Homo-oligomer: A and B are copies of this chain.
Amino acid sequence: MKKQYLMTPGPTPVPPEALLSMARPIIHHRTRQFKNILKEAIEGLKYVMQTENDVFIFTSSGTGAMESAVSNVLSPGDKALVVKGGKFGERWEKIAQSYGIEVIPIDCEWGKSVDPAAIKAKLKQGKDIRAVYTTLCETSTGVVNDIEAIGKIVSKTQAILIVDAISGLGAVEFKTDGWGVDIAIAGSQKGLMIPPGLAFVSITKKAWKLVEEAKSPCYYFSYKQAKKSADKTDTPWTPAVSLVIALVETLKIIKAETIEATLQRHKKMAGAVRAAVLGLGLKLLAHDTPSDAVTAIELPKSIDGSELIKTMRDKYGVSIAGGQEKLKGKICRIATMGFMTEFDVIVAISCLEIVLKEMGYSVEFGTGVRAAQEALFSV
């Protein structure tokens, strides 16, 4: 007998209420019954995203919604600032380039958050920059960017601010309206605790003006079509009905816990992971502002990260993530996102200790766990 523990930064574990809701007989999407579900989903999303803006639900991975935030607002030749600093920041650049956008990159060392002043300087130079693309939590490095500070800068300009909050929403603080985020992107399989397949977009009036002018082709992800349908509590295309139904279940859980308590729980769990990592003599990849959604851990040179992940998963049933792209094999990433609590952290750290020891790293059993316990439980 082996139990499975999923502690990867997406998909994250799905609560039983949501899993079981997907086993109910399927219903048709053009019915009063589904309209009520859609309405509840949108209201719940607005609560979690902390916004009064229009919110649309797309049936796609988060990347589809990221593309929508380029194709709906820009035209070929338009200038856009793109904050790099990780695999997902770089994805913005790739998407924008595929639409013929002139990308002005803000390079940023993997493991560091972006300096808002660098954005300010670029915007000052380029009065014709139409959009700034950045990431809330860079899942590949476990770093959180200061969106509040960036929002203050961008809101004073003609440019709009687009934030990939896929990995952060529901795990770290994110105030769409309060911070002046013009387009916020979220995904289903992270802090929102349902399986992958839905993506969410919120949009301000300032961004709508760009939508009116944009000349890039887009159909399936068209905000205009989404808006026309959303105004009638509908979707332009057949949505992933079962995932929307599951979403209503997880949004109920967040509402019951309250978003403030949800974020507090994440802060506590991630803090415990960080304490354990340092307790074990390891280093965090995030130099300055580590994310509460996922913690990236630098592994000792003697440890093969891919082997570590594989052993934890296949031998012990504990799934954490490895490094991506240039970090492959060099780091491991433990998510504390969504349907997770204190003892999930204890399990992950305990398993990490065991496998590190198996692989020859000097570990005194319980060192990391003790540090985590101290951070989690104030007895």
Contacts and interface: CB of A to CB of B under 8 A. Distances in A.
A23 interface: yes
Contacts of A94: 219
Given A10-B238, A29-B196, A216 B217 contact: yes
A66 B375 CA distance: 51
Contacts of A195: 22, 26, 240-243
A29 B6 contact: no
Given A59-B59, A240-B243, A31 B197 contact: no
Nearest to A190: B238
Contacts of A319: 28, 31
A20 interface: yes
Q: Is the interface of A mostly helix, strand, loop or mixed?
A: loop
Given A67-B219, A67-B220, A100-B217, A61 B28 contact: no
B28 A11 contact: yes
B19 A24 contact: yes
Interface residues of A, number: 55
Contacts of A119: none
A243 B60 CA distance: 12
Given A28-B6, A219-B67, A20 B23 contact: yes
A26 B15 CA distance: 10
Contacts of A64: 59-60, 64, 220-221, 237
Contacts of A316: none
